[in-house]
Structure 1
């Protein structure tokens, strides 16, 4: 397997402009780690198996597991209102404040704005200071009404965990999960990372990768995406989730471990269901439980498991091109390691693109659809231009109100939603449910 994948990994990374990457594969108990490229184009140091990368939003799966450890302790109930544990919590909608539960937070269904960066420094009170400002977040949807990926929801879940445990969030995750699983190469805080081999994030400028002198996140975002780790450590996490095996006493019971992956509600495109943090979809007939991360397009990652095939794949990268490299590696592993058949392309459905053009914001992020030469183009944008985003890509309709990338129609990309009058009113894109900005139309 390594002999076949290594040259492909090297080639794909060069083609996609990814400075460096680390790939971990766990299959039937056997572990493989492959690396390519450099941790920084400034230093030229090669990526090694022990190089730390930011895993981004896969950190949410550790947040959910830490919360469930507290549930097992009897300190927390997923279905009690959050205000029971945070009585000083303020939200923009008082009615929502009274009913939002930790389960809502872990299933991206609390309804308040989910993509907002709150820089509250690097002190131990950073998370408390950020969530103290949650009355600034508009209540976009009713509580439990829709799934819309929410970083701010996971920050609040992390703050709940701090409050009931009496520990800083990072210490809680280390004591309850990282240490029992022998994940000795996983860290949250930059002063722990800087003394160890680590990858730095890169941006593309004029087609050339350059080091971006920014971590991309602040401390308050740790429950949503702040963990640094290695491919080998991520496979230790995968092994525990797949089998329950740990070096010492397992940090969670089998029942609780399985609950993490148990579907809780329908999700948003391109994912079908959500567990407690985990995203559940299918590759052909096989159930796939996954996550992944994007730290301001500086470091991108994938984490995919196929329980029926005893397979887990993690891909860690330090550039925006990792958003394409990760799926290529994962698809190769699903087809060549697990033996799952390739997904066939879906037929293109002729559709007038004009009614879909517009901006669909979700806070600091948004989805922009434009019409070019009679075709529809899609792009995720940073609404405040705070970081570089990939260029627009042409999309085509593969079903009613459903689009996929024009160059690869195998997997749907987004689904448009309509109001009671039949007008396009929202879009499910990038796991978010984003309402249309009626004040602006892009054509």
Structure 2
């Protein structure tokens, strides 16, 4: 499909979009086409801003692969963790209005809030909820959020924090988490006197004219033009987790639940890049707070090699770094078969946004790099395929270094008659109960509050593991039993060392609490 180039009226009183130079337009269009074709994406929407003006908008593909409805600039995508910046902005608006302070204790708003360490509970401030400095391990407790749908509530998540043992010291190191953004959304609701979803509409969407964005519970049929998530299966893009009649106000909304169109995201970016577009929406003090380096982050070799990065830190819902000597503010989002990426170069009043409704991790990386380098290092002239090649070489090197799923002995289904006393109901203090019980002639593991986590117990060389139904082999886990009698425990351990960190099996410790029903 040919790109859609639009002249959009953005916010009341603002200028219309303008066309990029012929050379720039050709470069941007080629980059989007390369990403779309090379990574065989089902759909993509991309926008570029230069000096505060939208200079390029391009879309490709379909809302649902094979159904013929084309993606356009009004199509809704999951922005996933790019929601975090909006949650932070809601809190900043409340600080600006005098409804809370960044250094307020969390317990001022949520008296039942508890961390594992009572000292951390007392000293956790609102600001700490946003900057991944809690001492929790990477992705701790994420199994209460994903896979979706599940039966955990926001109250369950907040209560579960008290049982998650820290992996490090409070405020000592960076480790990305999602649960504390759920807490941040509830703090906002208490301070603002309205549910989180209402606050986002009131404080973000309405004043910035982000009319297509959706948060909370809503109807896809009523809204229309909603991209669906896809996964690669046998060389094809296959829909997975298609929306039902109603999208629920699920618990992780404040961490990654907003959906927006490309038009909306460009409005969001322009408001952030140029305070004059929406006078008074966010004052200089709060803008500075959002983009202050609050928590240092480790700098990976790729950033050093590609961008000459010297500093990397987390602000309030944003990653802050330098790229070719220029200030960069950015974030990515990954959720249920959709990928997003948003990057700003504030000193240039420029940036780009990418929305993808398929498996697009490498696609967003290579494409964003090409789009930004056009502005930070134009002499390099590298296109998407150049960066795609670098990523492929990285992966090949990791494989040669022994990363990836290890070789396993042939698998056989564990027979129920051979499973013995380990059959039964097991419980973890934050995740709840799972059953290891007979189904037919075999044994199935089922998580009571997370029904998507259901699978057959298999054995390889006498070692039991769970083969999930619908989650894919990347999520599979060994079952490790230890101890005797009342001290008998069950732990899960990822088979693939490169498993997504949201499968935080390492934080689980089950004890047997009863027989199979």
Alignment match of 1:241 (pick from 272, 275, 296): 272
SS of the residue corresponding to residue 145 of structure 1 reads coil
User: Which position in structure 2 is the counterpart of 1:280?
Assistant: 320
SS of the residue corresponding to residue 5 of structure 1 reads helix
Give matches, 1:62-81, under 5 Å.
Answer: 62-81=86-105
2:262 paired with 1:231: yes
Give matches, 1:90-129, under 5 Å.
Answer: 90-113=114-137, 114-115=139-140, 116-118=142-144, 126-129=153-156
2:227 paired with 1:199: yes
SS of the residue corresponding to residue 23 of structure 1 reads strand
User: Which position in structure 2 is the counterpart of 1:19?
Assistant: 42
- How many pairs align? 372
Cα distance in 2 for residues equivalent to 1:91 and 1:272: 27
Cα distance in 2 for residues equivalent to 1:44 and 1:251: 40
2:75 paired with 1:51: yes
2:359 paired with 1:290: no
Give matches, 1:343-422, under 5 Å.
Answer: 375-377=401-403, 387=471
Alignment match of 2:293 (pick from 259, 263, 287): 263
SS of the residue corresponding to residue 250 of structure 1 reads coil
Superimposed CA distance per residue, residues 69-103 of structure 1 (whole angstroms, 9 cap, x where no aligned partner) = 11122221222221121111233322221111111
SS of the residue corresponding to residue 280 of structure 1 reads strand
User: Which position in structure 2 is the counterpart of 1:397?
Assistant: none
Are 1:201 and 1:319, in contact at CA under 8 Å, matched by a contact in 2? yes
Are 1:181 and 1:246, in contact at CA under 8 Å, matched by a contact in 2? no
Are 1:283 and 1:343, in contact at CA under 8 Å, matched by a contact in 2? no
SS of the residue corresponding to residue 208 of structure 2 reads coil
CA offset at residue 389 of structure 1?
8.4
Are 1:309 and 1:338, in contact at CA under 8 Å, matched by a contact in 2? no
Are 2:403 and 2:498, in contact at CA under 8 Å, matched by a contact in 1? no
Cα distance in 1 for residues equivalent to 2:501 and 2:197: 26
What stretches of structure 2 of length at least 5 have no aligned partner? 1-23, 301-310, 387-394, 406-452, 454-464, 476-496, 508-517
* Structure 1 vs Structure 2 CA RMSD: 3.6
Shift in alpha-carbon separation, 1:287–1:217, aligned structure 2, 3 A? farther
CA offset at residue 378 of structure 1?
5.6
Shift in alpha-carbon separation, 1:155–1:436, aligned structure 2, 3 A? closer
User: Which position in structure 2 is the counterpart of 1:326?
Assistant: 364
Cα distance in 2 for residues equivalent to 1:277 and 1:431: 19
| Higher helix content, 1 or 2 | 2
SS of the residue corresponding to residue 289 of structure 1 reads strand
Shift in alpha-carbon separation, 1:206–1:327, aligned structure 2, 3 A? same
Alignment match of 2:344 (pick from 305, 319, 322): 305
Cα distance in 2 for residues equivalent to 1:312 and 1:151: 25
CA offset at residue 341 of structure 1?
5.1
User: Which position in structure 2 is the counterpart of 1:405?
Assistant: none
User: Which position in structure 1 is the counterpart of 2:176?
Assistant: 149
2:110 paired with 1:86: yes
Are 2:354 and 2:364, in contact at CA under 8 Å, matched by a contact in 1? yes
Alignment match of 1:211 (pick from 239, 244, 248): 239
Cα distance in 2 for residues equivalent to 1:223 and 1:40: 26
Are 1:96 and 1:142, in contact at CA under 8 Å, matched by a contact in 2? no
CA radius of gyration, larger in: 2
